[in-house]
Structure 1
Amino acid sequence: MVAKHSTDVVVDETNDENSGVTAALCNWIVTLNKDDIPHAVLERAKHLILDGIACGLVGAHVPWSEKAADAILDYEPDGQCSVIGYDEKLSPLAAAVLNGAFIQATELDDYHSVAPLHSASVVLPALFAAAQVKANPRKSRFQNSNGVYAAATVSGLDFLIAAIVGFETGPRSGLAMYGGQLLTRGWHSGPVFGCPASAAASSRLLGLSADDTESAIGIACTQAGGLMAAQYEGMIKRVQHAFAARNGLFGALLARNGYVGIKKVFERRYGGFLSMFSQGNGMTPQYDVREVAAGLGETWHTNTNIRVKLHACVGGCHGQIEAIAALQKAHPERFAAENLARIKSITVGLSGPIFAHDGWEPHERPLSATGAQMNAAYIGATQLVDGQVLIAEFANDRLNRDEVWDLVYKTKCYHDKQFDKPNHACGARVVVEFEDSLVVEETLQMPRGFSPPITDDEIRDKYRKLAVSAVDQERMNKIEALVLGLENVDDVSVLLQLFAAPTRRVLG
């Protein structure tokens, strides 16, 4: 939209450098209070926190997480911040990296359906560390206008509101540049959108002013990045959302002591966050800065578009899994284990971003666990063979099974434009042809949890199923009670102490 200011200068509102959007977001961040937040949003936020902690508990001791922990603990000195599943404490930034990596470790953490990012793995690690920095300052000589920084207890309500700030900021940053479009071009969108999210949450928890919050977000955004090629092999994909957690926390810690960051980071046309990450997208307009502050206090992403995973793989393939499950239910004999070899071909239609992200043909056998959880052909074959796609399906000794790979090689993915509509990106069309020429198909526009979302009861069930595999029943129950009663917790450190102790290894 083009508008005229009083000077009669024509201004494009989608990229107006003087729109004040970054400042408006920061003012909202610092002034938000409990009475401004609907009860349903507060409740959902607590359940998203619980879900993130569950993912961290099971993710702390999978093999790739242990590799990361071994490496960081080998060089990083002791600090004041807790690490999920370990006795050791590290510096704030190092702890944020490990905790983020653990929450993202098994692909069971939440995802946003339009502006793809995993909110818990970005927001929670930053807040865990920020809370402990605030409660246990290493130095007291730094001052701001209010005087010397001293130890301060962080309440559960403070933590909860800060988490909501992060949950709301990340998706808006992504929507301003068309959300999943970033994936299509090979960027790992979550570590990009996640930087302002973690900065916003950390700034709120640390009590920064609106001006300092703007600096923190600017510092975070200049560190943003993440290559989606990380999905094919290796382990680094697990850590990239944690980079965003670290970057936002770093921005807030610098700004807390008066360090000035980029101002108007969303609005700047030259070298700004939106203008740079939207380059080459072919969209008109290239980006829309207004989305950053659109609907603040009225539209809540926390309880509408942040989805909770029921399958241990990339969220974009959940529709494919459930379409195959529907075929298995409708044709039990055809899809019985002894008849899978009679499948001639499988075609899978996916949205543009998901096809680019997950529709690639496997380039090696076996895939790494990361690659297997990011590959539509492998994910579909796993559902056909095992009837589920959970953590156990991606253990090392299960990644080279002939019965799975026979189906992988028969699978072809393609871009199906019917799924390019908002909130349909995770849908799928699956067509299976058998050797006797019988063809069956299933189209699923949206996987479970879109309309209506996964219920809070289901999130609690998921938490218990995951947590009980990693901690004892008493500890599991205490964590759940504290998180679901966060607004009544005087000192959030009691929660941090509960998860910061050794957990069991879940995956060999």
Structure 2
Amino acid sequence: MSEASQDNPYTLGIAKFVSGLRYEAIPAEVRARIKLLILDSLGCALYGSHLQWCRILQDTLTRVDQTRDCAIWGTKFRLSAPHAALVNGTEVQGFELDDVHRAGVLHVGAVVLPALMSLAETHQNMSGRDFLTAAVAGYEIGPRVGLCMGPEHIGQGWHSGATLGVFSAAAGAARGLGLDVEQTVHALGIAGTQAAGLMAAQYGAMVKRMHAGRASQSGLYGALFAQGGLTGIVNVLESEYGGFCTTFSRSTDRFDLSELTAGFGEVWQTMAIALKFYSCVGSNHTTLDAIRDLQAQQPFSPYDIDRIKVHGSQVTMDHVGWKYQPQGLTSAQLNLPFCVATYLLEGDCFVEQFSDSIVSDPARMALAEKVEVYHDADITSRGAKFRHMVRVEVVLKSGETLTCTKEYARGSERNFSSDADVIAKFEKLASHALPASQVAQLRDAVLGMEELTSASQLAQLLTQH
């Protein structure tokens, strides 16, 4: 393909899938799963609504935006559709609780749902079935872009949730608006040129929480502007000069375009999305599960430990294996040694275990010093689907070494949670923002989404009254 070529078989293929997707074509297991995934993301957002960084956005944007079309979840605030997408996406991603497509390296609900919900409120003719179909369209696309790019994308410093997320958000919003194939191509091309996000934000910066919201907003802009007639980069994924894949990989060959449209209608990436049961970055979960299992087999306390060795992929080592420094709550939730120390000292690693006061906790920091993260070339060679695999060795002061290997964490696509566990997590998180009766109504509305005449009912149930 020459640099001047406008050939776009993959971008066009995505647009055809998104524009042509129908509710009836979605398998029953996918429809059931997407409702659980949506429920989980909304619970995460409701918990996130009171967090400092979310309140900064709520307060700031309320001062500069006089439009009151769309709900800010878990609050009484209302903003314009683009600003609601920004804030609500930040809430979903606000506390390292939300879903992740591990191989595609993307938090999907945080980028798809805020844009789509904004459209549901401003376009009252979107039914529950329409919403569910559009959500699946969005959940299918971003992970495929991630699979195309591979884990090296985040390894070289791009925050994939922000960069890949624009395509999921644009796809969901385009389907929600009922855009045709050509318009959807432009929506993707407008969203793709807005992609941005730097992984240095993980070292304590609040702005890391905002990346998903910004991607959701960019995808919403892409769909709305395309509907209005604005043209985008029609070969945004294929272009050899300045295209997404070549630019973000700094190469012409370290990506696989075939992944972008692989298996449409047969392989559903929605089923490969995992949920979190620890309030920390997904790369840490397999290690925490390994320690959980080891303690169940042979109880030991933090004071019995000489050192802990975690062997993982190159991405795991680079992403979460760095030496902990008390730079803020974000870095505490992303750093693997600190999260291991938190789990061992507190007995869990959920929302109750993280607050600003623990960032410099001397006991956690001292125990974190005993946790060492090593690169295991064999794990890296297994590819993106095993990027979270770890082999954990707990060396006790007695001289005994306990070993556990984990390929997938609890809640992962290979070990998905029960409906009851997902619902329990949702109810626990949602109760921080809404009364129990409203939490129950929201739960039932999401799980019975096909029966909703208007998807805007979801937004009403997400609002404080």
Decide whether the 8 Å contact of 1:318 with 1:427 is kept in 2. no
Q: Which amino acid aligns with 2:81?
A: P
Q: Which amino acid aligns with 1:169?
A: I
TM-score by structure 2 length? 0.95
Question: Who is 2:117 aligned against?
Answer: 128
- Show CA shifts across 1:235-290 (max 9, x none): 1111101111010001111111111111021111111111111115xxx9322222
Structure 2, gaps ≥5 residues long: none
The answer on 1:493 being equivalent to 2:456 is yes
User: Of residues 180, 190, 202 in structure 2, which corresponds to 1:209?
Assistant: 180
- Show CA shifts across 1:24-80 (max 9, x none): 211111111112110000111111111111111111002222222222223222331
Question: Who is 2:256 aligned against?
Answer: 288
Question: Who is 1:143 aligned against?
Answer: none
Q: Which amino acid aligns with 2:436?
A: Q
Q: What is the rounded CA distance, in whole Å, between the counterparts of 2:458 and 2:332 in structure 1?
A: 34
Question: Who is 2:248 aligned against?
Answer: 277
Deviation at 1:17, TM superposition (A): 6.6
Deviation at 1:214, TM superposition (A): 0.6
Q: What is the rounded CA distance, in whole Å, between the counterparts of 1:495 and 1:188 in structure 2?
A: 30
1:418-433 to structure 2, matched below 5 A, reads 418-420=378-380, 421=382, 422-433=384-395
Decide whether the 8 Å contact of 1:268 with 1:275 is kept in 2. yes
Q: Secondary structure at the match of 1:423?
A: helix
The answer on 1:267 being equivalent to 2:230 is no
Decide whether the 8 Å contact of 1:423 with 1:446 is kept in 2. no
Q: Secondary structure at the match of 2:385?
A: coil
> Which moves more between the two structures, 309-318 or 79-88?
79-88
The answer on 1:165 being equivalent to 2:137 is yes
Decide whether the 8 Å contact of 2:126 with 2:454 is kept in 1. yes
Deviation at 1:367, TM superposition (A): 3.8
Structure 1, gaps ≥5 residues long: 1-10, 136-152, 503-508
Q: What is the rounded CA distance, in whole Å, between the counterparts of 1:34 and 1:233 in structure 2?
A: 42
Q: Secondary structure at the match of 1:197?
A: helix
Change (3 A) 1:392 1:378: same
Q: What is the rounded CA distance, in whole Å, between the counterparts of 1:499 and 1:19 in structure 2?
A: 39
User: Of residues 78, 88, 92 in structure 2, which corresponds to 1:99?
Assistant: 88
Change (3 A) 1:84 1:57: same
> Which moves more between the two structures, 442-451 or 219-228?
442-451
User: Of residues 375, 382, 387 in structure 2, which corresponds to 1:415?
Assistant: 375
The answer on 1:117 being equivalent to 2:106 is yes
Instruction: Kindly report the root-mean-square deviation, in angstroms, between the aligned alpha carbons of the 2 structures.
Output: 1.8
Question: Who is 2:203 aligned against?
Answer: 232
- Show CA shifts across 1:321-361 (max 9, x none): 011112222221xx23xxx2353222211211121111111
Deviation at 1:403, TM superposition (A): 2.0
Question: Who is 1:83 aligned against?
Answer: 72
Q: What is the rounded CA distance, in whole Å, between the counterparts of 1:126 and 1:394 in structure 2?
A: 29
User: Of residues 283, 298, 306 in structure 2, which corresponds to 1:316?
Assistant: 283
Decide whether the 8 Å contact of 2:434 with 2:464 is kept in 1. no
The answer on 1:70 being equivalent to 2:33 is no
1:321-400 to structure 2, matched below 5 A, reads 321-332=288-299, 335-336=300-301, 340-362=302-324, 364=325, 366-400=326-360
User: Of residues 54, 74, 87 in structure 1, which corresponds to 2:43?
Assistant: 54
Decide whether the 8 Å contact of 2:8 with 2:234 is kept in 1. no
Q: Which amino acid aligns with 1:168?
A: E
Q: Which amino acid aligns with 1:482?
A: A
Q: What is the rounded CA distance, in whole Å, between the counterparts of 1:228 and 1:476 in structure 2?
A: 34
Decide whether the 8 Å contact of 2:85 with 2:216 is kept in 1. yes
Q: What is the rounded CA distance, in whole Å, between the counterparts of 2:11 and 2:407 in structure 1?
A: 35
Deviation at 1:456, TM superposition (A): 2.7
Decide whether the 8 Å contact of 1:215 with 1:262 is kept in 2. yes
Larger gyration radius, structure 1 or structure 2: 1
Q: What is the rounded CA distance, in whole Å, between the counterparts of 2:440 and 2:420 in structure 1?
A: 15
> Which moves more between the two structures, 162-171 or 57-66?
57-66
Number of residue pairs aligned between Structure 1 and Structure 2: 460
User: Of residues 262, 269, 275 in structure 2, which corresponds to 1:301?
Assistant: 269
Q: What is the rounded CA distance, in whole Å, between the counterparts of 1:132 and 1:35 in structure 2?
A: 24
Q: What is the rounded CA distance, in whole Å, between the counterparts of 1:39 and 1:435 in structure 2?
A: 52
Decide whether the 8 Å contact of 2:75 with 2:433 is kept in 1. no
Q: Secondary structure at the match of 1:448?
A: coil
- Show CA shifts across 1:374-428 (max 9, x none): 0001011111111110011111223332221111112221112333224222222
Decide whether the 8 Å contact of 2:6 with 2:234 is kept in 1. no
User: Of residues 403, 406, 411 in structure 2, which corresponds to 1:449?
Assistant: 411
Decide whether the 8 Å contact of 1:17 with 1:269 is kept in 2. no
- Show CA shifts across 1:452-472 (max 9, x none): 322333212221222233321
Decide whether the 8 Å contact of 1:78 with 1:88 is kept in 2. no
Question: Who is 1:437 aligned against?
Answer: 399
Q: Secondary structure at the match of 1:344?
A: strand
> Which moves more between the two structures, 462-471 or 312-321?
462-471
Q: What is the rounded CA distance, in whole Å, between the counterparts of 2:385 and 2:148 in structure 1?
A: 16
